[in-house]
Structure 1
Amino acid sequence: MARSSHYVAEQLELAHSDAASLVMERGAAAAGLSWPPAPFAPRDAGSLRERLAANPFLMAPMASVTDCAYRMMMRAGGAALAYTEMVSVTGIHYGSDKTWSLVQPNVGEPDLAVQLFGADPEHFREAASQLGEHVGERLALVDVNMACPVPKVTRGGAGSALLDDPVLAARIVRTLREELDVPVTVKIRIGRVPDHIVGADFARAMEAAGASAIAVHGRVASQMYRGQSSADAISRVVDAVSVPVIASGDALNAARAAKLLKDTGAVACFVARGSYGDPWVFRNARRILGGEDALEVTPEMRLAAFRLHVRLLGATGAHIARARSLAGWYLRGVPEAAAWRERAMHCVTLDDYLTLADELEATL
């Protein structure tokens, strides 16, 4: 099915303009961020384990969050690699314009990881064969989501439902390995329910199928995001496989991200919710891991980062409504934060958000 449309053409035009890079170049320093970011280490720089260990803090894939504006902010904050939102291989199979828009990198992104989800190996094969057209040489790796606990994903046999079908999961990994010349990784949970923990056995099966790394969230799917993530359960997966393991779960700030890495023995660590309004979390986690103090993030830096991120939404063609979530995240910790966040809920345009930021700054 043809994927050409005015929508896709507009997205591609925005992605290939230099507007977002200019926004970053002009605003990153005031927010205490760095631009351009260092690319993920190239394949000739060593094994995937060595490349992950060189900068072990990664920006996790998050549905409806990790668009290219978000990825650029987190890379500017020191994330070694940033992931797309979950991309449906079934959507790709049916030629969904919206699905392909999730994959398209902005010209300012040095590279990215694409996370795919689905349950049909042939849909994965189709997706893999077309990724080069949309990402090209900037494709760092492809990850398969075998962790998502949301019913609308698991009802179709995808996400964490694959934990109950390691044979199918292995077929998906082998199919991608046949089509791609970049690492194929998987993201899993330790099980679907508390009385049936399968993390270590499932990870061994994925390694045998050819997975280059395993990302492990230390909760069972039935927990959703409640309760605590188990570092011990992640450690058991680390001990079970020889491929690198990426720890995931409850890395809610820089100190906890560094601790998760130490406690699990994993090679790298995903930061997901801990990056909300905190692009500095990646650089600070590395500092803490190295025995240094985290850098202070001032209210002025928070405001500068908020402005920068909102401008990026405009430069990348993202819907400005996403700025409401950004306001809730970035304005934490500023004086009278609750009142300012409430005001942000009534903003409609890019200028509304920038005016709010100017007015807030005048009170500091």
Structure 2
Amino acid sequence: MLLNLVFTPSSITPDAMVVQYTYWHLWCGKKDRSYSKLPFRLLAREYNTDITYTPMILAHEFIRSSVARDSDFTTCELERQRTPDGRQHALVAQFASSDPTEFARAAELIAPWVDGVDLNCGCPQSWAIKEGIGCSLMQRPEVVAEMVKSAKARLGPSKTVSVKIRISKDISETQRWIRVVEAAGVNFITIHGRTKSQRSSTPPDYEAIRSLIAGAKVPILANGDANHPSVLAEIITKTCAAGTMSARGILENPTVFASLAVTPVESVQKFMKYAVKHPIPFPLLLHHLSEMSAGVKGMNKKEKSRLMACRDLFDAIDFVEEKWGLGDFHDQTKT
């Protein structure tokens, strides 16, 4: 651990959720890509990740269709159990919505299988803004407050309700936004240190996050370029945040919260085990392998091309076995 810090939201039971410095979230702004499906969440759980998030789920679709629910959300008994080293792991369902009733209903439907729900107010994609969700909600703090109130009323004190936001060009606007949502009873807030128009090539504004934390009454988590153990420590130092959240960085190195600077081969082997037990679309599996292999030492361009030429799960298994071996893959996938 790079920081000996733990906070437990006051409205949640002690065993329900532990939020530590090693805090992560994984999401993609495009509706057709969901990188935080069950196999990768299970992998991250093994490497000191305290909380994992589902992909961003559209609440209005989730509440109206069992097919959508089955497609958007899968879990297993292992996901919320204590890890072998005794850590309590938590799962948060991430929703996109602009309607208090729909958000509350979606939260209620998923509640038995998660430890909390989160409202995404930070997605900068044009389709999200057009639909009145994501970053567009930064202009409507009162609506977000109503959504938080509605979800909390439906869920009760045993689950957390949180939000994820981006900073505004005028930090005073973000400060006001936070005050309004705090008054509604939000449990914690994650702040991405870029505005909705800034690309990932722009360094996140950690000083802005620090200034927002100084006036906040609830725990604040910092997000933005959390892609290396040394950067995680830097983020905590610069922002005084209660935790850090990683998105893009953890795709390449799912062990980043375990203070491992280089992706270990073991993590690729474990991912394959989980992907066989809990199948995901092959293009998504291949993307994960491509990201993780970029962080593993000894992967050359020819091998990278060969990996991307894999046509199905069996090709991918053969590639991993020939390149790195499969560890206890065969034994574990039988259980």
Q: What TM-score bracket applies, with the shorter chain setting the length? A: 0.7 to 0.9
For structure 1, the 5+ residue unaligned runs are 1-39, 285-294
Q: Does 1:278 align with 2:278?
A: no
For 1:288, the equivalent position in structure 2 comes to: none
**Alignment partner of 1:198 is 2:173:** yes
**2:110 & 2:135 partners in 1: Cα distance?**
24
SS at the partner of 2:181? helix
- Aligned residue in 2 for 1:78: 48
State the alpha-carbon separation in 2 of the partners of residues 361 and 139 from structure 1. Answer: 34
How far is the alpha carbon of 1:231 from its aligned partner? 0.3
User: Is the Cα–Cα contact under 8 Å of residues 103 and 147 in structure 2 kept in the other structure?
Assistant: yes
- Counterpart check, 1:59 vs 2:24: yes
Determine if contact 1:87/1:99 at 8 Å carries over to the other structure.
no
2:51 aligned counterpart, secondary structure:
coil
Select the residue among 100, 125, 130 that pairs with 2:104. 125
Normalised to the residue count of structure 2, the TM-score between the two structures is 0.83
Q: Which residue of 1 aligns with 2:333?
A: none
Whether 1:350 aligns to 2:313 is: yes
The 5 A counterparts of 1:79-118 are 79-95=49-65, 97-110=67-80, 111-118=90-97
Describe the superposition over 1:107-148 as per-residue Cα deviations: whole angstroms up to 9, x where unpaired. Answer: 22014111111111111122122123xxx1x42111110110
1-structure distance, mates of 2:276, 2:95: 26
- CA displacement, residues 208-233 of structure 1 (integer Å, 9 cap, x when unaligned): 11111111001001114341110011
The one-character-per-residue Cα deviations of 1:320-343 (angstroms, maximum 9, x if unpaired) are 222321232222243242221111
Cα distance in 1 between the residues matched to 2:57 and 2:189 = 18
- 2:163 maps to a residue whose letter is V
Residue 87 of structure 2 is matched in structure 1 by: none
- Report the aligned-residue RMSD: 2.3
The answer on whether the counterparts of 1:244 and 1:266 sit within 8 Å (CA) in structure 2 is yes
In structure 1, what residue type is equivalent to 2:96?
F
Change (3 A) 1:327 1:339: farther
2:166 to 162, 183, 189: 189
With over 3 angstroms needed to count, the CA separation of the structure-2 counterparts of 1:44 and 1:173, relative to structure 1, is: closer
What displacement does 1:195 show?
Answer: 5.4
Equivalent pairs counted in the alignment come to 300
Cα separation, partners in 2 of 1:176 and 1:360, compared to 1, 3 Å = same
Counterparts in 2 of 1:330 and 1:114: CA distance versus 1, 3 Å: same
% identical aligned pairs: 24
Q: Which residue matches 1:18?
A: none
Aligned to 1:21: none
Q: Are the aligned partners of 1:203 and 1:240 in contact in 2 as well (CA < 8 Å)?
A: no
In proportion to residue count, which structure has more helix? 1
Structure 1 residue 82: deviation in Å? 0.5
1:229-240 matches, within 5 Å, as 229-240=204-215
Structure 2 unaligned segments of length 5 or more: list them: 1-7, 29-33, 81-89, 326-335
The TM-score with structure 1 as length reference comes to: 0.76
